[in-house]
Structure 1
């Protein structure tokens, strides 16, 4: 079935060093935080341009 991983694939992924797996986790987390920051900044910029301010 497509989308299902075999036991061999899972075993191969578990053989990778811990630092490499944690590195990928940190990279994905940092990327998601960065994208969220960009989206929030764009929304704030558009809201300020439309005259919506907090002061």
Structure 2
């Protein structure tokens, strides 16, 4: 198996309702934004702990 989706799987995915596909897009986007926020907050916390401040 090559790992590529078959034509049948692609057609089945395209038949799903638009709201369901957009919902997954929104969930994935929100998750990635939250993950970025967590990483940036941790970096800021460590930088402040090391004495690196902007004011």
TM bracket, shorter-chain basis:
over 0.9
Extract structure 1 runs of 4+ deviating beyond 6 A.
none
Structure 1: runs of 5 or more not aligned: none
Superposition TM-score, scaled by structure 1 size: 0.96
Q: Give 1:3 shift.
A: 1.5
* 1:33 aligned partner: 33
* Separation in 2, partners of 1:2, 1:49: 48
Superposition TM-score, scaled by structure 2 size: 0.96
The alignment covers a number of residue pairs equal to: 55
* Separation in 1, partners of 2:2, 2:27: 27
Q: RMSD of aligned C-alpha atoms?
A: 0.6
